[in-house]
């Protein structure tokens, strides 16, 4: 296929067929042109502002057993913690003090946090005037509805992979159908919905990644977080090969080209495998960064994968660090809440 023509088509029409996406993912001769096209589309649609979302990792306890994840329930090597609701609210207040306009509450799937506890946490944090994003896994429609009523604005739930067989092999006991049901419920309830996938899972093909990108479009996702799979030594996938920065950046770029107005984070996993990974992602289509605002030892214990960045740093240090990096590439930290502004193609 004529790769430069495909890049031009993606940049102008924001549409590609599956085999065209696969051809771009497979090509290594025109990567710079692909990433540059995505950077132009990013600038045209969402501008030079970078939205910061403060990430609170409030519990590393999980009832699921995903083969790739260090927080899986069978991993006895991780010391488990749970922050009490008032401690979560306290972290949120501090993060608000650093200027964050969105706070992301993330945890394993931890039944300790009942609807009542979460309602209390969300309600108190909303009083700060921030947008609240939840990233706490699969729940019932009633639960999602209760969190929404309490004030939650957004929800992150990665599909991880749209290859149904691979999904069910890597996430034992979980059903692909239920994950789709969750994403549908969240959309129907009026959340801004974030999803995304892992890049470089064992057995994942480029065709499956192309399907992921088309899936994000099909469900009209508002936010799309992709990052490399990083093998964790305390999991069944310890010996697997991980994802690469090159392929992860190409996926970010293709997501921006095909869904020009969505919010795309430059993920922590990118920076874990490449010391400049987040900045590279910001220059390949991304427009969001999610600095960690968890304090103390909890950062280290929230060990999805090894080598996670910022585990010894404070929220204040990370805020200053990322602010400096964003300014250094001529971008600026956004002042608003950073909701998706739906735009028609230009």
Between strands 198-199 and 227-228, the pairing is parallel
313 binds, among ligand FES, ligand SF4, ligand 5AD, none (CB under 5 to 8 A by kind): ligand FES
The owner of tokens 């069910």 is: 168
Q: Which of 132, 290 has the CB closer to ligand FES?
A: 290
- Structure tokens of 52? 């910061």
Nearer to ligand FES, 49 or 313 (CB): 313
Q: Which residues bind ligand SF4 (CB under 6 A)?
A: 62, 64, 66, 69, 71-72, 108-109, 137
In order of 171, 242, 268, 311, 329, the CA distances from 272 in angstroms are 23, 12, 6, 11, 20
Residue 176 near residue 168, CB atoms below 8 Å: yes
Residue 310 binds which entry of ligand SF4, ligand FES, ligand 5AD, none, with Cβ cut-offs from 5 to 8 Å by kind?
ligand FES
What SS3 class is residue 334? coil
109 binds, among ligand 5AD, ligand FES, ligand SF4, none (CB under 5 to 8 A by kind): ligand SF4
Write each residue from 250 to 289 as x if it is in contact with ligand FES (CB under 6 A), else as -, in one continuous string.
Answer: ----------------------------------------
**Contact criterion met (CB below 8 Å) for 235 and 206:** no
Q: Is 253 one of the binding residues for ligand 5AD (CB under 6 A)?
A: no
**Binding map of ligand 5AD across residues 132-161, x = CB under 6 A, - = no contact:** --------------------------x-x-
Within 10 A of 299 (CB to CB), how many other CB atoms are there? 22
Give 253: exposed, middle or buried? Use CB within 10 Å, 0-12, 13-18, 19+. buried
Positions that interact with ligand 5AD (CB under 6 A)? 68-69, 158, 160, 198, 227, 229-230, 232, 269, 304-305
């Amino acid at each position: 296929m004529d790769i430069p023509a495909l890049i031009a088509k993606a940049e102008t029409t924001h549409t590609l067929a599956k085999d065209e996406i696969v051809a771009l993912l497979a090509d290594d001769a025109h990567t710079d042109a692909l990433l540059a096209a995505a950077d132009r589309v990013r600038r045209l649609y969402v501008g030079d502002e970078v939205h910061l979302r403060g990430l609170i990792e409030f519990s590393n306890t999980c009832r699921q057993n995903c083969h790739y994840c260090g927080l899986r329930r069978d991993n006895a090597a991780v010391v488990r913690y749970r922050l009490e609701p008032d401690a979560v609210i306290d972290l949120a207040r501090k993060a608000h003090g650093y200027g964050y306009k969105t706070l992301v509450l993330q945890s394993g799937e931890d039944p300790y946090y009942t609807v009542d506890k979460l309602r209390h946490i969300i309600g108190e944090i909303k009083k700060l005037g921030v947008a609240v994003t939840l990233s706490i896994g699969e729940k019932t429609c009633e639960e999602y509805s209760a969190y929404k009523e309490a004030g939650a604005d957004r929800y992150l739930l990665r599909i991880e992979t749209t290859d149904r067989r691979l999904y069910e092999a890597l996430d034992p006991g979980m059903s692909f159908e239920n994950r789709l049901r969750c994403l549908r419920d969240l959309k129907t309830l009026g959340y801004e919905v974030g999803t995304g996938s892992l890049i470089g899972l064992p057995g994942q093909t480029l065709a499956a990644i192309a399907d992921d990108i088309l899936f994000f479009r099909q469900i009209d996702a508002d936010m799309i977080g992709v990052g490399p799979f990083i093998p964790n030594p305390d999991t069944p996938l310890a010996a697997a090969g991980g994802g690469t920065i090159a392929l992860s950046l190409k996926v970010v770029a293709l997501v921006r080209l095909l869904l020009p107005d969505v919010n795309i984070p430059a993920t922590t996993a990118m920076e874990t495998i490449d010391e400049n990974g987040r900045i590279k992602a910001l220059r390949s289509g991304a427009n969001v960064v999610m600095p960690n605002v968890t304090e103390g030892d909890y950062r280290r214990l929230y060990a999805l994968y090894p080598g996670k960045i910022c585990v010894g740093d404070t929220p204040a240090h990370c805020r200053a660090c990322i602010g400096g990096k964003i300014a250094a590439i001529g971008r600026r930290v956004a002042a608003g809440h950073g909701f998706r502004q739906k735009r028609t193609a230009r």
